[in-house]
Structure 1
Amino acid sequence: MPFTTEQINKASSSSSTPTPTPMSTSSSSSSNTQRIQPKCLKNKMDGTETGTTETEIQATTPRRRRRSQFRPCIDLHGGVVKQIVGGTLDLVSEDGKGPKENFVATQSPGYYAELYRLNSLRGGHIIKLGPKNDDAAREALAAWPRGMQLGGGVSLENAQEWLDAGAEKVIVTSWLFPEAKFDLDRLKSLSDKIGKDRLVVDISCRKRKDGWVVAMNGWKTLTDMTVSEESIKQLEQYCSELLIHAADVEGLCQGIDEELVERLGEWVTLPCTYAGGARDLSDLALVDWLSGGKVDLTFGSSLDIFGGTGVRFDELVEADRQAKISSGL
């Protein structure tokens, strides 16, 4: 059963650091049963055009297969945990201080890592969005050694340093694209140095008329790589996981990129985490259906621990627990 943020605060403030008592999980909120209208599911279910409830999705999903799981995140900007609208990372806000922020934490990065640790939410990612985040990242990694992945500014020169600091795996994007052009030799060299089992490739992207284009440098610069079956097969030879942020919907809480998730479910053979646009608990069931359980989902701005109102953390912890049980994990 999940631990509350209040229990984490109490444990953190106590000199004897007692173990918090698990809280009982209440029934899911009304967001569980609200109707959703997945574009890619129309004509796949019963031919109706009225949308599909989470319950209906679950009823038509085979029981014995892997289920999509919840992957937590810690996004760092200026040394602080934040939730940012992805398409604004390259913009200056009205007050001249930076991109549009949905949430700025008063709690430390280590607080969130500890919260995830106490609820056994492995495989989440810490992303450094720009400079002045190294100390904050190290604090989070120290709170849960080998429990989270680290991305942002990772290169051949510093990848091992971050693994030594406690990262389970490192996540690489921009370094693979000098002058915005994919360099396969760089990927091979990094994979050889640290081992493909410790490497995650981030293919976060923006939608264009001819598909999805991998974006780098805080999603500001488009590269020469499209997200496709061919490119994914090439990348999977040298890494153990893929991470993909749909930058155009990141932070908007207006729904996931359904077509992208469905394509990923067809193309990927390695663990893959999608982030961007998740608004309530039903999106986890939707991702599971669209991808056949091959893609996991990250919640950000809609999550209550980040100031959101769309989904509660304890709901996601319980949903993740059930998904792991169904997956035989």
Structure 2
Amino acid sequence: MRVIPRLDIKNENVIKGINFEGLRVVGNPNKIAKKYYEDGADELIYSDCVASLYGRNSLTELVKNAVKDIFIPITIAGGIRSEVDANLLMKSGSDKLAINSELFSNEKLANLLVQKFGSQSIVLSIQAKKITKNSWEAYKNFGRDKTGMDVMDWVKKMTKYNFGELLLTSIDADGICGGFDVELFEKVSKIVKIPIIACGGFGKLDHIKELKKYANIDAIALSKALHYEKITIKEIKDFIKKLDE
């Protein structure tokens, strides 16, 4: 199971909130990213959390600077609306692009990007909010806007585009550090064959054990527990190694 720090970025700062709200500044993205790289992160996710809202992605320069010192895969999320946006980010040094909001109005973008860059470089991003005990709605624009689409239906609809991975985020669990939405990941892992990155809810090592027990997860993405130094990447990786033995 890969360990992937997620850096939510607004106005060139790493920020963190709870349920995607009440955002607070944490620090400089590239300093934080470099520390996580040196601490043994497998990959990094940079997410421009206002890009879709303002119709732009501002991470190009950040990525250019990051790749000078960081030699693990970097995934960029937020504001990717066209082949032009994707080209800019890939030329800047991104390894993967995660797409969410634009797909609800332009499904063809999925096929276009997968054809151009290959499945291994294009990640389907889904932000899920629980509606009832067994159902979730997909959200867009960094969890701001409802789509009216059931998450399971959306996952099934999107699988035909051959995404390389699924970045699945629980809005309800985000920033609370109270554990993963295990039911969400269990249900989705039964209907997709591509690797799933579970995001939202990590707070302590037993949360990984619980998730692993019920869902087939390839990676976890986390932020708050690392940003506030509640745990180290090494502790997480050592724990995962023991679970696998």
Normalization by structure 2: what TM-score? 0.84
1:287 counterpart residue number: 211
Shift in alpha-carbon separation, 1:109–1:139, aligned structure 2, 3 A: farther
- Between the aligned residues of both structures, percent identity stands at 19
Contact 2:167–2:197 under 8 Å retained in 1: yes
Determine whether 1:110 maps to 2:22.
no
CA separation in 2, counterparts of 1:231 and 1:184? 11
Shift in alpha-carbon separation, 1:72–1:320, aligned structure 2, 3 A: farther
TM-aligned CA deviation for residue 308 of structure 1: 4.7
Q: 1:113-128 maps to which residues of 2 (within 5 A)? A: 113-128=33-48
Normalization by structure 1: what TM-score? 0.65
Determine whether 1:214 maps to 2:135.
no
1:175 counterpart residue number: 102
The amino acid of 2:75's aligned partner reads Q
Q: Deviations over 1:116-169 (max 9, x none)?
A: 333442233111111584233443344325621111111222112211111111
Over aligned residues, Cα RMSD in angstroms? Answer: 2.4
Q: 1:212-251 maps to which residues of 2 (within 5 A)? A: 212-228=136-152, 230-237=153-160, 238-251=162-175
Contact 1:71–1:122 under 8 Å retained in 2: yes
Shift in alpha-carbon separation, 1:298–1:173, aligned structure 2, 3 A: same
Contact 1:196–1:240 under 8 Å retained in 2: yes
Query: Larger strand proportion, structure 1 or 2?
Result: 2
CA separation in 2, counterparts of 1:69 and 1:287? 14
Contact 2:122–2:164 under 8 Å retained in 1: yes
Which secondary structure does the structure 2 equivalent of 1:105 belong to?
A: strand
TM-aligned CA deviation for residue 242 of structure 1: 0.5
Q: Deviations over 1:171-223 (max 9, x none)?
A: 11111122xxxx43232122222222210010111111371111111111111
Which secondary structure does the structure 1 equivalent of 2:2 belong to?
A: coil
Q: Deviations over 1:223-271 (max 9, x none)?
A: 143221x532442332100101111221112222121121123222111
1:163 counterpart residue number: 90
2:234 counterpart residue number: 314
- Residue of 73, 87, 96 corresponding to 1:147: 73
Q: Which has the larger radius of gyration?
A: 1
1:28 counterpart residue number: none
Contact 1:125–1:150 under 8 Å retained in 2: yes
The amino acid of 2:43's aligned partner reads G
TM-aligned CA deviation for residue 79 of structure 1: 0.9
Shift in alpha-carbon separation, 1:143–1:212, aligned structure 2, 3 A: farther
In structure 2, the gaps of 5 or more residues are 52-56
In structure 1, the gaps of 5 or more residues are 1-67, 89-98
Determine whether 1:83 maps to 2:9.
no
